[in-house]
A and B are shown apart, each in its own frame.
Chain A
Amino acid sequence: MAANSHANTDKPAEKGSIFNDPKVRGIVYQVALVSGLAYLVWSIIQNAARNLEKQNIASGFGFMDGTAGFAPNQSLIDVSAASTYGEIFIAGLLNTLLMAVIGIIFATIVGFIMGIARLSNNWVVSKIATVYIEIVRNIPLLLQIFFWYFAVLRALPHPKQSHVFLSEFYLNNRGFFMPKPIFGEGSELIGYALVAAIVGIFALINWAKKRQMETGKRFPVLWTSLALLFGLPLVAYFLSGMPVTFDHPVKTKFSLKGGMRVIPEFVGLLLALTIYTGAFIAEIVRAGILAVSHGQTEAAHALGLRNGPTLRLVIIPQAMRVIIPPLTSQYLNLTKNSSLAVAIAYPDIVSAGGTILNQTGQAIEVIGIWMIVYLSISLLISLFMNWYNRSIAMVER
């Protein structure tokens, strides 16, 4: 009603009936469509609830407070078999996120190297990249996951014959074991030092850029940054009286106990996802570089830039505008593909949810949570990449 009277006051009365006003009609149609859709969704939910009740199937999310009775073998938070289903779910979610983040970083590195290598003038380098891309892109991911997982497993020895490095690092088919730092009292200073170092590095980069713009003098940013990053926490470590101790892995009857550990499932899945997605990213990078006109390279050479700086300072920044949108969808693919983890026992959210689903029988709820989780992660990645895309987009003048 409000819309109608508003439309009436805006327009002269002699224009005729409000039913002929395209604006009013548009609003009416859209309201009708939205309420129709809302009714459809509502009735589906109602119907499902009624039918579930009729078939004596319990529903709702109350089951999340129940004791799980099982625990994943890798977790970023402290969970045990006495934890609730909700906590096990979160542990699985964090494992999914961990795989997604590390996978995206590695796949990007592999993709950029291989994409540039495929365009190399060196015959051997470009053919190696071509063979890699063509083989990996054309084999289903699940097979590659099995291949890498069982390849990793078979290559590693039994815990009794572990490879030992520096007498503290053990590598066997139960994983890679290393000492775990335990931060004692006073170690907050190290954390502060690390934050200070990172802030300092950003400031340094800005300052160096500005100085180069003004005076043309360059500053060794990389080495100074590295020195800051490692130097400051180290100084803080000694200043605070060396509060960090280490929990060493100890041999037991079957394997090793204590310390930190990277499980073989993680390595197998990471390898497969990195290599698979890296091949697609390589093609995107190649397409992006080829999209930059050759005149740009010639102009850069004419200014006296060598091949490296030409690529880094002229070609890649322009290529990024073409690369980012398809790169986003590869990141989304990698994240969603990580759900194949359940095939090789990596304890991600699908694996945790699967066990919970079976123990509680709450299929619709668990599947609903899965869908919402992957949707949310994907939307977040998209948001971030769109923001990044806008920030590097060409500024039209």
Chain B
Amino acid sequence: MKKVLLSVLLGSAMSVAATASQADTLDDVKGKGDVTCGVSQGLPGFSNPDAQGNWTGLDVDFCKAVAAAVFGDADKAKFAPLSAKERFTALQSGEIDVLPRNTTWTMSRDTKLGLNFAGVNYYDGQGFMVRKSLGVSSALELDGASVCTNTGTTTELNVTDYYRSNNMELELVQFEKADEVVQAYDGGRCDVYTTDASGLYAQRLKLTNADDHIVLPEIISKEPLGPVVRQGDDKWFNINKWVLFAMVNAEELGVTQANVDEMKNSKNPSVRRLLGTEGAFGEALGLSNDWAYQVIKAVGNYGESFDRNVGPKTPLGIARGVNDLWSKGGLMYAPPIR
């Protein structure tokens, strides 16, 4: 917190030069030789350090993809774990270049905070987890329950709204960090644990006996999660937006990490434009023309990243659902490259 406060004071108050240099993040990034991403302090499936200290997850893959697009090298991605409270300040002050940190796209964040959302890399919604032994099968049966959650997120607002609109009472217990929420819920302080449904699946793995808990069917909010950049730097905004689109387009076109090299010789013009063998789309972004090739080579397409980090075969076991391609009944839809 102190560090963030300092950078707020120094970054936005004292030095006009810092603000001016933020205007071109791509130059900054190229100058310092890495892409610094703000990520969570540990959310399995999205951004979580493994036993060796390597970050993995859906958001981490996005960061690596940006690094690959800029440098042709996914290892140029650097990660800064941030609490929910610190994240926007760190981005505004220029401490990080992009914030792929399971952050919900809301109007106030988009307009009042000087931020831009580069797209949606996971369509989430807030859910409830309870003990099976309570015998509860719907969130509407939770009148009078104690609800544990994280402070500094949109979840308090959503859950209070939901309870108010259904004329139910709740006791809100707000912790600073997710680890304490899990411990308190596990210790019986609360009947209910609420956060984004993806987060519930992830945190359930940390409970003493994961099978004793169920996630209720109600999803009480729309939580489109996506990477965030500073407002007023369209070039950098475009790069992040199109890295995400490229991953979705690649899945749609059947380009995978494994076949990306042979796909370069594909006769399909859409694939050729994506991989830079035709046209000069990378130049318009300020990158090399094989930017998308580098992205797919480094982290694979969106579907591969999803399956590797949160999909049914991972401990989280989340079905594609709304996060499937639009052509398969989901919401993932990317504008074409042409």
- A: residues with CB less than 8 A from B are 44-45, 47-48, 51-52, 54-58, 69-73, 81-82, 146, 150, 153-154, 158, 173-174, 252-255, 257, 264-265, 342-345, 347, 351, 354-355, 357-361, 363-364, 367
Contacts and interface: CB of A to CB of B under 8 A. Distances in A.
Interface of B: 5, 8-9, 12-14, 16, 19, 84-85, 88-89, 92, 108-109, 111-114, 134, 142-146, 148, 151-154, 156-157, 160-161, 163-164, 169, 171-177, 180, 183-184, 187-189, 191, 230-232
Given A51-B13, A255-B144, A81 B5 contact: no
B144 A257 contact: yes
A255 B146 contact: yes
B258 to A, nearest CB: 41
Contacts, number: 142
Given A44-B13, A358-B152, 12 more contacts: A56-B231, A57-B92, A70-B172, A173-B189, A253-B144, A254-B145, A254-B191, A255-B171, A342-B151, A345-B180, A358-B153, A367-B8
A51 B93 CA distance: 11
Contacts of A354: 85, 151-152, 176
A68 B121 CA distance: 29
Given A154-B187, A355-B152, A55 B232 contact: yes
A355 B176 CA distance: 10
Contact of A69 (B84, B146, B161): B161
Contact of A347 (B111, B174, B183): B174
Contacts of A45: 13
Contacts of B14: 44, 47
Contacts of A72: 172
A316 B23 CA distance: 65
A158 B230 CA distance: 47
A343 B12 contact: no
A153 B188 CA distance: 8
A345 B8 contact: no
B175 A344 contact: yes
Given A73-B172, A150-B183, A58 B112 contact: yes
17 contacts: A44-B13, A51-B13, A51-B19, A55-B19, A70-B156, A70-B172, A73-B171, A73-B173, A81-B161, A153-B187, A153-B188, A257-B144, A343-B175, A343-B180, A345-B148, A345-B174, A354-B85
A49 to B, nearest CB: 9
A17 B273 CA distance: 84
A355 B114 contact: no
A300 B209 CA distance: 65
B65 to A, nearest CB: 26
Contacts of B85: 354, 357-358
B173 A47 contact: no
A81 B226 CA distance: 28
A70 B188 CA distance: 22
Nearest to B183: A150
Nearest to A361: B113
Contact of A351 (B9, B108, B151): B151
A45 B169 CA distance: 43
Nearest to B181: A345
B180 A359 contact: no
B172 A71 contact: yes
Contacts of A360: 108, 112
Nearest to A356: B152
B70 to A, nearest CB: 23
A161 to B, nearest CB: 10
Given A153-B188, A342-B176, A55 B114 contact: yes
B144 A150 contact: no
A84 B151 CA distance: 17
A82 B173 CA distance: 18
A57 to B, nearest CB: 4
Given A55-B92, A254-B191, A367-B5, A343 B144 contact: no
Contacts of B183: 150
B154 A361 contact: no
Q: List 7 tightest A-B contacts by C-beta distance, closest first.
A: A48-B13, A55-B114, A56-B114, A358-B152, A70-B156, A57-B114, A69-B157
A149 to B, nearest CB: 8
A264 B175 CA distance: 13
B89 A54 contact: no
Contacts of B145: 254-255
A72 B38 CA distance: 29
